[in-house]
Structures are given as C-alpha cells and as structure tokens.
Amino acid sequence: MTEAVIPPQLAIPETLAAGPGPGNTDARVLAAFANAGLADHMQADVLRGMVECKLMLRKVWGTRNIHTFGVAGTGFSGLDCLFSAILPGDRVVAFVNGTFSGIDALSIRMKAASREDLAADPMNPKPASVTVVNVPHGQSVTEEVIEAALAEHKPLWAFMAHWETGSGRTNDIRAFSDACERHGVMGLVDAVSSLGVADFAIDDYPGVVGWASCPQKGVLCLPLTYAPVSFSDRYISHLHANGCHSYVHHPVLEARHWAIIDGKDAAAGSYHRTHSGYAVAAFHEALRINLQHGRAEKARDYARHEAALRAAVTALGCDVTSDMTSLVVLNLPPALAGREKELVQTCRARDFGIWPTLSEPVQVRIGILNQLSPAAITDIVGRFAAVMNEMGAGVDPGLAQRALQAQYPAEMAAE
Ligand SMILES: *Cc1c(COP(=O)(O)O)cnc(C)c1O
C-alpha cells in the first residue's frame, strides 16, 4: 500500500504588494473576513449585509442605478457579467490599448461569435461584427479615435477600459460617453483599476450603460470576493427584451440575491447561488473604508503619493510613461535596459511584489494600492533603489530621498 503524501500546512509569507493589483488588503478587511461567524447564505445578517453593501456601493460609485451589486469572483467575473448581454452577431467596437482591454476584447469576440466563428478559431474567434481598434501600448484612447470609430461603424455596443493597467494609461471616458450618446451606442466600461482610486461618478456618464470593477484593486477587498458591477435601466431593458446565454452571470438573475427584484429594491434577497458570509463581511468592511475615506479625498491622496513615487524613480534615472495615479509604469535607465524581468524577479524574491508589463515593450510597473503615506512610499523607493544598485545601476539613493523630501515638505525634514 502506498502511503498518501500529505504536504505540511501551507504557509504564505507577508509580502509588499507593490504592483498594479492585488493591493495590500486592509487589516480591517482581513479581520472582518476572519471574524465572521459560520452562517449560510440565507441567514438574516448575511442578507442584511448584502443589502447594505449594495447601498454603499451605489454611493462609492456615484449612481442611482438599481442594478448595482457584486459578482462573486474576480474582475473578469464582473466583466463576464457586463458582457453577458452581447449576443452572437451583435455589432461592437472595442478599443484596446493594453493587456486587459485586449483580454476584454477577446471576451467580447467570444460572446459575439457565431457557431461558425467559434469553429473557425475556437480559442480566438474573430466575428466580423466586432471591430477592435488597437491603440499602441503606452498611449491613451483619445476623443478623435473614439469619434471616428463610432461614426464609421455605428455599433450597438462600444467598449473601453477606463484605466488600462497593462500600460498604465487612462482613457477619456467623458469623450467615450459623449460619443456613445451622440451615436446612440450602448457604452460598456472596464473600471477595474479606476474604482476606488479615481474621483468619478457613474451617473455623470449617461452614454455608458454598464460598468465592471474588481474586489482587490482600489476597492481594497480580498481577491475572489465581489467584483462590483452597475447597469443602467437601458441595459436592463435591452437584456429583458433580448435575453442572454448565462444563468450565473445574468445581470437580472444575479441581482436577486442582492435584493434587487423586478427592477426594485426588495427587503431581502432571494437565492441565486451560495454566497459566502465571510466574503460579504469583507466586502462590507472594504466599502465602509472607502466611504469613510471619501471618494475625492482618496483620489487626492493617490495623486499626491503617485507624484512622489514618480519624482523619486525619475531622480533614479527611470522614465515614467504612465498617467494613472495608483501605478507608475517606467523604462529603466540605459544601464539596466533589457533587464526588466530580472529586476522584477529580484524584487519579488525579496517579497517586494512589483511587476513587468505583460505585453511588449517590457516595462516595470510599481503600484501604491493602499500605500498612501510618505513612510510607505519611502519604503517602496528604498527597496527599488537597492535592487537597482544590486544589479549594478550605480544610482545615488540620496537623489531619490531628496526628491521625496521635496514632495513631502511637511512630513520629511530636509537634511
Ligand atoms: C486587473 C484587471 C483586470 C482583471 O481582473 P482580475 O481580478 O484579475 O480578473 C481586468 N481589467 C483591468 C483594467 C485590470 O486592471
């Protein structure tokens, strides 16, 4: 008889998550998750928590959309729910300027594909009804590009990422929403990286009928809890009239457990699938933290600390090409050019979790999710400079230190 080999209990170290996401889960969120009692998905406080989450999420997202709730899973679970109303043959224009909008466009092509389109290229279908507009890595999707594509193709749906985390570029959702309104197009937005970081309110963008985000970036919750989504009445009536091919990610059916029934808020939810009291408790605490911090205040804090990180890595000879406030995407100085992946691996081996870009050209990504203090930014810069020098960059860490002092005059006394 062979003895079953049981590995020792899994131990995972504490690391500094200084990438595009997941962020550093707030200690309050972890405590809420760990302290939740054992309770099923129809227990009264779990259902009440889901109702409170739904109401808090509407505030965090600045919307009166009734169909605003969390989809169990990751960002792409929320996006799958967002794209569920796209049916085979639907005309779609998708703007792509990096890794994530590229995956979103694949997901859209899969939804719009006919059986023949799928058979022709099962993993990467290319239905003729979907137009993908590619904007080069490192650039934003501009008003001119959006207007030209919507005017030419007159689609039913248009898609864009708000903040493209792959290349660290923000896209113009004002122009996107306005163009969608002008051309009678239903806009869909991937707000995975912007929710909880940028100061925006859904209801200011009436051309956008559906939004999806994720638990673990700006929202500060645990991965695999709830991906926020929000749908306008126009999206929902289109869905009512046309249906979709999903039970689990059906926006109307999934909303029922969040007590959104027949287009109205109900007193309590009804069963859709087995939700987790732990996940609900974590999401609830994350949303409370977001509301306590305040949307505008949080956005200002990100802008301030991103500016400090940007100034410090620039002082170290790096060239920053991003314009997001939760992330810097940079080219290394000439002495280290071509060694981006090695540098990232070295940092990661020191439990300092930064990232390369996942599409070409290879750049380095350093994020500051839930690292909003001069001490945290100073720590990130210090670790980064140390690894640069370990690899022979020969940079003066004092230059970065002085750049930080200039950014934080009140907190850091000049030497
Ligand atoms: C992170 C990210 C995703 C994917 O989210 P997962 O939680 O990994 O599924 C999608 N879009 C954007 C813009 C992202 O930043």
pLDDT for 208-247, tens place per residue?
999 999 999 999 999 999 999 999 999 999 999 999 999 9
- pLDDT for 76 beyond 80: yes
Nearest residue (CA) to ligand 1, atom 3: 75
Average pLDDT over residues 78-102: 98
- pLDDT for 31 beyond 80: yes
Q: How far apart are CA 79 and CA 71, in angstroms?
A: 9
Per-residue model confidence as pLDDT tens digits over 313-324: 999 999 999 999
Element containing residue 244 per DSSP (H, E) = none
What pLDDT is stored for residue 294 in this prediction?
Answer: 98
Measured from the Cβ of residue 98, the count of other Cβ atoms closer than 10 Å reads 25
Q: How far is the CA of 192 from the centre of ligand 1 (A)?
A: 6
Give the total residue count for the chain: 415
Q: How far is the CA of 183 from the centre of ligand 1 (A)?
A: 28
Q: Assess whether the C-beta atom of 385 lies below 6 angstroms from ligand 1.
A: no
- pLDDT for 4 beyond 90: no
Per-residue model confidence as pLDDT tens digits over 241-292: 999 999 999 999 999 999 999 999 999 999 999 999 999 999 999 999 999 9
- pLDDT for 360 beyond 90: no
- pLDDT for 363 beyond 60: yes
Q: Assess whether the C-beta atom of 251 lies below 6 angstroms from ligand 1.
A: no
What pLDDT is stored for residue 65 in this prediction?
Answer: 98
Nearest residue (CA) to ligand 1, atom 2: 192
Q: Assess whether the C-beta atom of 171 lies below 6 angstroms from ligand 1.
A: no
Ligand 1: nearest atom to the Cα of 77: 9
Per-residue model confidence as pLDDT tens digits over 387-409: 999 999 999 999 999 999 999 99
Q: Assess whether the C-beta atom of 302 lies below 6 angstroms from ligand 1.
A: no
- Per-residue confidence band for 412, with pLDDT thresholds at 50, 70 and 90: confident
Q: Assess whether the C-beta atom of 23 lies below 6 angstroms from ligand 1.
A: no
Ligand 1: nearest atom to the Cα of 191: 13
DSSP letters spanning 4-68: P--PPPP-----EE-SSSS----HHHHHHHHH-----TTSHHHHHHHHHHHHHHHHHHT---SEE
What pLDDT is stored for residue 96 in this prediction?
Answer: 98
Tell me the helices (H) and strands (E) count for the chain, helix number first: 14, 17
The pLDDT > 90 percentage for the chain reads: 97
- pLDDT for 1 beyond 70: no
Q: Assess whether the C-beta atom of 21 lies below 6 angstroms from ligand 1.
A: yes
Q: Assess whether the C-beta atom of 193 lies below 6 angstroms from ligand 1.
A: yes
Per-residue model confidence as pLDDT tens digits over 169-199: 999 999 999 999 999 999 999 999 999 999 9
Q: How far is the CA of 78 from the centre of ligand 1 (A)?
A: 10
Structure tokens at 102: 């590229």
- pLDDT for 413 beyond 80: no
| Burial environment of residue 147 by CB neighbours within 10 A (0 to 12, 13 to 18, 19 or more) | middle
- pLDDT for 42 beyond 80: yes
Q: Assess whether the C-beta atom of 80 lies below 6 angstroms from ligand 1.
A: no
Q: How far is the CA of 182 from the centre of ligand 1 (A)?
A: 29
Q: How far is the CA of 148 from the centre of ligand 1 (A)?
A: 27
Q: Assess whether the C-beta atom of 213 lies below 6 angstroms from ligand 1.
A: no
In 239-346 the beta strands, taken as DSSP E runs, fall at 260-261, 264-265, 319-320, 327-331
The pLDDT > 70 percentage for the chain reads: 99
Q: How far apart are CA 84 and CA 144, in angstroms?
A: 28
What pLDDT is stored for residue 149 in this prediction?
Answer: 98
Q: How far apart are CA 374 and CA 221, in angstroms?
A: 23
What pLDDT is stored for residue 258 in this prediction?
Answer: 98
| Chain mean pLDDT for the chain | 96
What pLDDT is stored for residue 414 in this prediction?
Answer: 53
Average pLDDT over residues 17-34: 95
Q: How far is the CA of 189 from the centre of ligand 1 (A)?
A: 12
Q: Which domains does the chain have, with CATH numbers?
A: 27-291 (3.40.640.10), 295-414 (3.90.1150.10)
Q: Assess whether the C-beta atom of 189 lies below 6 angstroms from ligand 1.
A: no
The residue to which tokens 């940007």 are assigned: 310
Nearest residue (CA) to ligand 1, atom 4: 75
| pTM more than 0.95 | yes
